[in-house]
């Protein structure tokens, strides 16, 4: 990682973020920000970092020079392209310092950051802050947080699932896809299904016989019984020819 944002333009942005520019210089920066999206995002990064340092309750930056000289340095830098302020902290540098704290940098990158840290008080402040925050966060993992369920209750929930499921759900997608097929197979294996299907087929066949013989006719119903609960109705028919014709 490389921090290449210590350019005069960037330093001017730092001064802008600090509210140290004259009205004329300020309006000049504002016009630049409108036309340059990269500068705009840079000023947001600077502001974010300043906020972070402010909220940490520590001096956001320590300036080794008198205010006047410091900003004089910035503007001299604007005329001499490439010069940099020791106090410049870009978002890139912030993340680089974080990677340093997290042990993510290689040897040469580490040395690069250490060099920056040696000459930049704000960078050192940030380093200390990151270390403290990490230490505090780790303290939370030491909190003993036992499971609120008893072992028996907790295990029962797992055990129930283990009894119904098999080993290796690596093909869980195919299992999901096979779900409807499995349900259908289970439905077909239900002992009620076969007799029900037989009755259904017989009804179709008998109905077909009625239709073929054209024996749909009005018949005299002598009496009827209707079971309200099941909805089944039994009709008693007077004419015996009707039945003879139906079962021929």
What is residue 1's three-state secondary structure?
A: coil
Q: Contact 60/120 with Cβ under 8 angstroms? A: no
Q: How far is the CB of 34 from other proteins (least distance, A)?
A: 19
Tell me how far apart the alpha carbons of residues 145 and 222 are, in angstroms, rounded to a whole number: 78
Name 223's bridge partners.
Answer: 236
Does position 214 interact with other proteins (CB under 8 A)? The reply is: no
Q: Which two tokens stand for residue 186?
A: 């289970």
Task: Based on the shown chain and the rule CB under 8 A, indicate whether residue 41 belongs to the binding site for other proteins.
Answer: no
Size of the site for other proteins (CB under 8 A): 48
Does 173 participate in binding other proteins (rule CB under 8 A)? Answer: no
Answer yes or no whether residue 176 interacts with other proteins by CB under 8 A: no
Part of the chain binding other proteins (CB under 8 A), chosen from 4-12, 15-23, 74-82, 166-174: 166-174
CB of 10 to other proteins, least distance (A): 19
* 3-state secondary structure (DSSP) of residue 228: coil
Among 34, 65, 118, 162, binds other proteins (CB under 8 A): 162
Residue 2 sits in the site that holds other proteins (CB under 8 A): no
Give which of 192, 209, 198 is closest to 243, Cα–Cα.
Answer: 209
Q: Which stretch binds other proteins (CB under 8 A): 16-24, 114-122, 136-144, 237-245?
A: 136-144
Question: How far is Cα 32 from Cα 74, in angstroms, rounded to an integer?
Answer: 17
For the chain, what percentages of helix, strand and coil (3-state, to nearest 5) are there? Answer: 65, 5, 30
Task: Please identify, using beta-carbon distances, which residue of 154 and 235 lies nearer to other proteins.
Answer: 154
Nearest residue to 77 (alpha-carbon basis) of 19, 9, 5, 28: 9
Instruction: Indicate which single residue of 24, 135, 232, 233 sits in contact with other proteins (rule: CB under 8 A).
Output: 135
Locate the DSSP E strands across the chain: 221-226, 233-237
Considering the rule CB under 8 A, would residue 182 count as an interface residue with other proteins? no
Round to whole Å and give the CA distance between 74 and 80. Answer: 10
Nearer to other proteins, 80 or 174 (CB): 174
Asked if 68 interacts with other proteins (CB under 8 A), we say no
**Footprint on this chain of other proteins (rule: CB under 8 A):** 44, 47-48, 51-52, 54-57, 94-95, 98-99, 102, 104, 129-130, 132-143, 145-149, 151, 154-155, 157-159, 161-162, 165-170
């Amino acid at each position: 990682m490389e921090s290449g944002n210590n350019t005069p333009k960037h330093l001017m942005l730092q001064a802008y973020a600090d509210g140290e520019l004259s009205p004329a210089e300020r309006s000049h920066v504002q016009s630049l920000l409108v036309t340059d999206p990269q500068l705009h995002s840079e000023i947001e990064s600077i502001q974010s970092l300043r906020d972070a340092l402010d909220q940490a309750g520590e001096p956001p930056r320590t300036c080794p020079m008198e205010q006047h000289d410091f900003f004089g340095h910035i503007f001299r830098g604007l005329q001499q392209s490439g010069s940099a302020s020791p106090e410049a902290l870009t978002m890139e540098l912030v993340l680089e310092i974080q990677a340093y704290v997290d042990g993510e940098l290689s040897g040469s990158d580490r040395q690069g950051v250490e060099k920056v840290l040696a000459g930049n008080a704000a960078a050192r402040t940030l380093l200390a802050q990151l270390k403290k925050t990490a230490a505090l966060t780790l303290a939370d993992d030491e909190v003993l947080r036992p499971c609120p369920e008893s072992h028996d209750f907790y295990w029962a929930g797992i055990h129930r699932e283990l009894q119904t499921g098999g080993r290796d759900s690596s093909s869980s997608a195919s299992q999901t896809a096979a779900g409807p097929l499995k349900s259908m197979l289970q439905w077909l294996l239900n002992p009620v299904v076969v007799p029900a299907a037989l009755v259904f087929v017989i009804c179709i066949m008998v109905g077909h016989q009625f239709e073929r013989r054209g024996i749909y006719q009005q018949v005299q119903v002598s009496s009827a019984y209707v079971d309200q609960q099941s909805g089944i109705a039994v009709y008693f028919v007077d004419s015996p020819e009707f039945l003879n014709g139906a079962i021929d």
